[in-house]
Amino acid sequence: MVAAGIFFCSGLRAQDEAVSRMKMESSRNTFDDTTYKYNEKGWRKGGLFSLNLAQGSSSNWAAGAEKSSFSVAGYTTLFANKKKGDFFWDNTLDLGYALQKTSSLGTRKTDDKFDFYSKAGKKLNDHWALAGVFNLRTQMTDGYDYDYLNKGIRRRVSGLFAPAYLLVSPGIEWKPNSYFSVLFSPISARWVIVSNDPLSYYYQNGDIPLPDGGKETPLSALYGVNPNRKVSMEAGAYLSASFMKEVLKNVTYKSRLDLFSNYLGKRDPVTDEKNKAKPKNIDVFWTNAVSMKINKFLSVTYNLDLIYDDDVRQFGPDGNSAGTQIRSLLGVGLSAKF
């Protein structure tokens, strides 16, 4: 018995080093779910999908309510991560889309997200790495101002690549554990793109008829881009902090905070005159998602997005000031991972 035990322990110690290393690497995953494993080529792929539905109706409701309403929201996260020695390459695509139809307002979009985030780098040690980020954010369909000029008319104010944000950022990453990381870059490049119908006037040639008169603001100018140029280039400091963990049993929290400070002076989107740089006006993009698993197919999801961009001046009493943009959605529905 003693000899057999010694032989068994020796066999464990002699376990193939490559297998041990693979197990260790697979435990240090960026997507906090141990059911996803790295394959023999070093790739780890998968995704999550959720579909939320809601329906309501009323009849002779004294307090006032829509006669009928229906909403549908779908969210998908796809990822493909690769590791080979000290090299890593993480890719995530977040898609979201939601519609609401009511008896009084018709069908309107309530959410629209396309966010591709790619990070590649080389580890220096267990917690530090040299890395670079490529990020593309836009939306998939047109969005509208449904009360344009306070006249109850509909004007297009956004769309696919109207705007789009393209970022390239080399930097250094600190990752103290498997679920949290911070990347900082002292110099990054960002492009704001409005290439899809940058004018989008409601009236012909943008001339507002009397008695109001005046000229419409081009759609691209709403995002700080001259309609003739279609692209505005920025250079500055960038910080991106990411968190994803099962914080409670069957409850997962995912968050990403991006901060960008532009060193360059920007051109006025209407007059095309050069303005002074405002590095203290930091652009903020913060996205959050909480998912609570009820059973194999049902889940509760809550999404909260917060954006502040000093160049997006559509708010305030005169509609020409920057403001904090907040969007949230709570849903109960079907979910699946693959």
Check residue 316 and give its pLDDT.
79
Alpha carbon 19 to its chain's center: 36
Is 333 strand, coil or helix?
Answer: strand
Rounded to whole angstroms, the Cα distance separating 311 from 275 reads 12
Residues 6+ away with beta carbon under 8 Å from 153: 147, 202
How far is residue 224 CA from its own chain's centroid? Answer: 20
User: Is the distance from CB of 48 to CB of 94 less than 8 angstroms?
Assistant: no
In the predicted model, what is the mean pLDDT of the chain?
86
Residue 113 pLDDT? 94
- What does the pLDDT read at residue 19? 40
Cα separation, 36 vs 33, whole angstroms: 6
Of the candidates 85, 110, 88, 90, the one whose C-alpha atom is nearest the C-alpha of residue 99 is 110
38-83 pLDDT tens trace: 787 889 999 989 999 888 777 767 666 678 888 999 999 999 999 9
User: Got the DSSP string for 52-120?
Assistant: EEEEEE-SS-TT---SEEEEEEEEEEEEEEEEETTEEEEEEEEEEEEEEEETTTEEEEEEEEEEEEEEE
Handedness of CA 277, 281, 282, 288 (dihedral sign): negative
Backbone angles phi, psi at 48, to 5 degrees: -130, 140
**pLDDT of 34 above 70:** no
The pLDDT value recorded for residue 336 is 87
Tens digit of each residue's pLDDT (9 = 90 or more) over 108-130: 999 999 999 999 999 999 999 99
Can you give the pLDDT at residue 127?
96
| Pairing verdict, β 68-84 and 43-57 | antiparallel
State the total domains in the chain: 1
Q: What pLDDT is recorded for position 39? A: 82
pLDDT value at 337 more than 90 = no
Mind listing the pLDDT tens digit for each residue in 219-258?
Answer: 999 999 999 999 999 999 999 999 999 999 989 999 999 9
Q: What share of the chain has pLDDT > 70, as a percent?
A: 88
| Segment (H or E) for 260 | strand 251-262
d(CA 247, CA 255) in angstroms, rounded, equals: 12
Q: Which residue has the higher pLDDT, 34 or 310?
A: 310
pLDDT tens, position by position, 80-108? 999 999 999 999 999 999 999 998 889 99
Q: What is the pLDDT of residue 313?
A: 78
For residue 33, the model assigns a pLDDT of: 52
Q: Is the peptide bond before 163 cis (omega within 30 degrees of 0)?
A: yes
- Listed in sequence order, the DSSP H helices in 183-231 are none
What residues make up the domain containing 222? Answer: 2-337
pLDDT confidence of residue 27 = 34
> Tens digit of pLDDT for each residue in 248-295?
998 999 999 999 999 998 888 988 888 898 899 999 999 999 989 888
CB 137 within 8 A of CB 114: yes
